[in-house]
């Protein structure tokens, strides 16, 4: 008989939260430890093939450093598309994981950043890290549902999802963002999406869904949901070719999780794209 709305509302959300509360994948932890920027996304750009030829005792570390460099490069490209962010602005890192991109955004723009996640473990980890770096006055992480953040209407100059839209319904997601972002604000996502042109969800795409308990959307679903909710693209970049080297290197690394094969298959067979979309709120 209460109307209080819990952060986790469905069995599905509870299972995703549970997954991330317990996840301790070396590919996220070890790479993060390179410079204490913890990411939960993939990388872009060519890797230095020399790392594969490094002496046995340093080879593993060299590869991990290189993977981390590519991840950070990806986050930089995402931040390049946030538009003109000023120190007094507030921006939101939606599905922030352990918080790495928020730290980078604050360092670049000097602005306020609110990261949100449905994993309480991640939120706690990220807030500790912000305190340790002394940026907790401007960078804060919250245990919140991205479909219903409770933040004030019009409060966010920009919002991004770095590989976290596959856990939610896009229409509901962008409806919430349309509420949070004022006219002229910006939305950016980097995401994997399956290719409407080659047809339905391929086996490789379903393997990724199963691995992460996620629900990869069709490319068309992004453009439909953005248009329906008052967002207009200004830049769209097909990053598929740029992300393949990351996966090839990771497949050969000690932190491979087994999902590398399906990603490489999906990208190469053209059933899956790695896409950046930047859109303006109108």
Rounded to the nearest 10 degrees, how much is the dihedral formed by the CA atoms of 196, 198, 200, 203? -130
Residues 9-68 that bind a second copy (CB under 8 A): 9-13, 15-16
Nearer residue to a second copy within complex by CB, 40 or 69:
40
User: Which lies closer to a second copy via its Cβ, residue 58 or residue 270?
Assistant: 270
Q: Which of residues 146-185 bind a second copy (CB under 8 A)?
A: 152-155, 167-169, 182-184
Q: Is 198 in the site for a second copy (CB under 8 A)?
A: yes
Nearest to 217 by CA among 234, 192, 242, 241: 192
Angle between helices 170-180 and 219-228 (to 10 degrees): 40
Residue 205 and residue 199: Cα distance in Å, rounded?
Answer: 12
Q: Which of 118, 39, 130, 117 is nearest to 77 (CA)?
A: 39
Considering only 21, 215, 254, 257, the residue that binds a second copy (CB under 8 A) is 215
3-state secondary structure 9-52: CCHHHHHHHHHHHHCCCHHHHHHHCCCCCCCCCCCCCCCCHHHH
Please say which residue, 29 or 227, places its beta carbon nearer to a second copy.
Answer: 227
Q: Count the site residues for a second copy by CB under 8 A.
A: 60
Nearest in space to 113 (alpha carbons), one of 98, 124, 128, 102: 102
Interface residue with a second copy, options 29, 197, 241, 257 (CB under 8 A):
197
Taking the complex as a whole, the smallest distance from the CB of residue 195 to a second copy amounts, in Å, to 8
* Binding track, positions 76-115, relative to a second copy; x by CB under 8 A: ------------xxx---------------------x---
Residue 150, phi then psi, degrees to nearest 5? 80, -5
> Footprint of a second copy on this chain (CB under 8 A)?
1, 3, 5, 9-13, 15-16, 88-90, 112, 152-155, 167-169, 182-184, 196-203, 206-207, 209-210, 213-215, 219-220, 223-224, 226-227, 232-238, 269-271, 273, 275, 280-282
């Amino acid at each position: 008989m209460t109307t209080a709305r819990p952060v986790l509302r469905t069995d599905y959300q509870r299972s995703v939260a549970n997954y991330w509360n317990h996840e301790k994948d070396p590919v996220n932890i070890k790479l993060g430890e390179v410079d204490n920027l913890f990411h939960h996304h993939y990388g872009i750009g060519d890797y230095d093939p020399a790392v594969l030829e490094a002496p046995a005792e340093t080879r593993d570390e060299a590869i991990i450093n290189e993977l981390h460099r590519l991840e950070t490069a990806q986050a930089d490209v995402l931040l390049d598309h946030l538009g003109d962010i000023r120190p007094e602005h507030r921006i939101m890192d939606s599905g922030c994981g352990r918080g790495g991109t928020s730290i980078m955004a604050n360092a670049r723009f000097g602005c306020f950043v609110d990261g949100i996640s449905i994993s309480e473990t991640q939120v706690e980890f990220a807030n500790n890290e912000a305190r340790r770096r002394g940026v907790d006055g401007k960078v804060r992480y919250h245990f919140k549902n991205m479909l219903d953040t409770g933040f004030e209407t019009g409060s966010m100059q920009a919002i991004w999802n770095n590989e976290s839209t596959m856990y939610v319904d896009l229409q509901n997601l962008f409806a919430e963002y349309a509420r949070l972002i004022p006219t002229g604000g910006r939305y950016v996502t980097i995401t994997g999406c399956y290719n409407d042109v080659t047809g339905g969800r391929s086996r490789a795409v379903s393997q990724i869904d199963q691995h992460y308990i996620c629900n990869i959307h069709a490319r068309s679903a992004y453009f439909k949901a953005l248009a329906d909710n008052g967002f207009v693209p200004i830049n769209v970049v097909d990053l598929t070719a740029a992300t393949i080297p990351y996966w090839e290197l990771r497949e050969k690394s000690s932190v491979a999780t087994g999902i590398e094969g399906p990603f490489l298959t999906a990208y190469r067979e053209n059933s899956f794209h790695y896409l950046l979309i930047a859109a303006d709120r109108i």
